[in-house]
Structure 1
Amino acid sequence: MKVLVTGGAGFIGSHVVDQLIQENHQVVITDNLSTGNEAYLNPEAKFYHVSIESDDMGAIFASESPEVVIHLAAQIDVQKSLHDPQYDAAINILGTIHLLELCKTHQTRKFIYSSSAAVYGNPNYLAIDEQHPIQPLSSYGISKYTPEKYIRMYADLTGLDYTILRYANVYGARQIPKGEGGVVSIFVDKLLAGESPIIFGDGLQTRDFIYVGDVARANIAAMYEGSREVVNISTNSPTSVSDLYSIIADIYKTDLRPQLAQARDGDILHSYLDNAKAARVLGWKPQISLLEGLNKTVEYYQSIHKTKVLL
Structure 2
Amino acid sequence: MKYNRKIEPFGRPRKWGDKLRVLITGGYGFIGSFVAEKFYQEGHDIFILDDLSSGKKENITFRHKSFITNVTSSNCEQIFKGHPFDMVIHLAANVNVSTSMNNPTYDADANIVGLLNMLHLSGKYGVKKFIFASSAAVYGDPLTIPIEEEHDLHPISPYGMSKQIGEYYCEQWSKLYQLDTLCLRFSNVFGPGQGNSGEAGVISIFLNRVMNKQKLVVFGDGTQTRDFIFVKDVTEAIYRSAMSELTGVYHVSTNQETTINEVIDEIKGILDSTGVGNLPAILYKDKNPGDIENSSLDNRKLMKEIDWAPKYTFSQGIYETFQWFYQQKTKSKQSKSTKQKPNKSKQDNQSVHTEKLIPLIENFVIFTIIVAAHFTLGEYFSNIDMKLLYVLIIALFFGKTQAVVSCALVIVLFSYENMMAGRDFITLFIDNEVLMQFAVYLFIGLIVGYIIDRKKIDAHGAKQELVAAGQKYDFLQDLYQEIRDQKEELETQIVESEDGIGKIYSMVQQLDSLEPDDIFVGATAVIEQTMKTNAAAIYLVNSNRYLRLVSKSRRNDLIIPSSIMVKDESVLAQVISSKENFFNKKFVENMPQMIAPIVKQDKTIAVVFIYEMNFENLTLYYQNLFHVIVSLISSSLIKATDYVQATNQERYYDGTVVLKPEYFAKILASKQKAWQQFKIPYTKLSIEKTYQLEQLNKVTQLLRETDYVGVEADGTLSILLANTDEKTAQHVITRLQYQQISVGGTAND
Q: 1:187 aligns with which of 206, 209, 217?
A: 206
1:173 aligns with 2:192: yes
Q: How does 1:190-229 map to 2 (within 5 A)?
A: 190-225=209-244, 227-229=246-248
Q: In the alignment, which residue of structure 1 is the partner of 2:322? A: 298
Deviation readout 1:7-49 (Å, 9 max, x if unpaired): 0000000000011111111010000000101111233111111
Q: How big is the shift at 1:226?
A: 5.3
Q: In the alignment, which residue of structure 2 is the partner of 1:143? A: 162
1:51 aligns with 2:70: yes
Q: How big is the shift at 1:180?
A: 1.0
Distance, in Å, in 2 between the alignment partners of 1:287 and 1:229 is 24
Q: How does 1:68-217 map to 2 (within 5 A)?
A: 68-217=87-236
- Give the superposed CA RMSD: 0.9
> Which letter does structure 2 place at the counterpart of 1:196?
K
Q: In the alignment, which residue of structure 2 is the partner of 1:37? A: 56
Distance, in Å, in 1 between the alignment partners of 2:135 and 2:245 is 17
Q: 2:306 aligns with which of 271, 274, 282?
A: 282
Distance, in Å, in 2 between the alignment partners of 1:159 and 1:43 is 33
Distance, in Å, in 2 between the alignment partners of 1:285 and 1:230 is 17
> Which letter does structure 2 place at the counterpart of 1:145?
Q
Contact 2:149 2:251 in 1 (8 A): yes
Contact 2:206 2:216 in 1 (8 A): yes
Q: How big is the shift at 1:281?
A: 1.7
Contact 1:17 1:42 in 2 (8 A): no
Which residues of structure 2 form unaligned runs of 5+?
1-19, 273-277, 336-749
1:256 aligns with 2:280: yes
- For normalisation by structure 2, the TM-score amounts to 0.41
Q: How big is the shift at 1:186?
A: 0.4
Deviation readout 1:68-122 (Å, 9 max, x if unpaired): 0000000111001011111100110111010111011100000011000000110
* Aligned CA distance change for structure 1 residues 188 and 56 (closer, same or farther; 3 Å): same
Distance, in Å, in 2 between the alignment partners of 1:131 and 1:245 is 33
SS at match of 2:302: helix
SS at match of 2:134: strand
> Which letter does structure 2 place at the counterpart of 1:256?
P
SS at match of 1:170: strand
- For normalisation by structure 1, the TM-score amounts to 0.98
SS at match of 1:269: coil
> Which letter does structure 1 place at the counterpart of 2:225?
T
Runs of 4+ in structure 1 off by over 4 angstroms are none
Contact 1:226 1:281 in 2 (8 A): no
Deviation readout 1:163-216 (Å, 9 max, x if unpaired): 110000000011001001100000000100112210000000000000001111
Q: In the alignment, which residue of structure 2 is the partner of 1:62? A: 81
SS at match of 1:92: helix
> Which letter does structure 2 place at the counterpart of 1:264?
N
Deviation readout 1:261-289 (Å, 9 max, x if unpaired): 11111100000110001111222211111
Q: In the alignment, which residue of structure 1 is the partner of 2:533? A: none
Q: 1:6 aligns with which of 16, 25, 31?
A: 25
Higher relative contact order, chain-length normalized (CA < 8 Å, sep 6+): 1
Contact 1:226 1:282 in 2 (8 A): no
Residues matched between the structures, number: 311
Distance, in Å, in 1 between the alignment partners of 2:301 and 2:199 is 22
Deviation readout 1:203-245 (Å, 9 max, x if unpaired): 0000000000111111101112252221100000000000111
Distance, in Å, in 2 between the alignment partners of 1:13 and 1:19 is 10
Q: How big is the shift at 1:128?
A: 0.4
Contact 1:201 1:263 in 2 (8 A): yes
Rg larger in structure: 2
Distance, in Å, in 2 between the alignment partners of 1:220 and 1:204 is 33
Structure whose residues are more often helix by fraction: 2
* Aligned CA distance change for structure 1 residues 57 and 78 (closer, same or farther; 3 Å): same
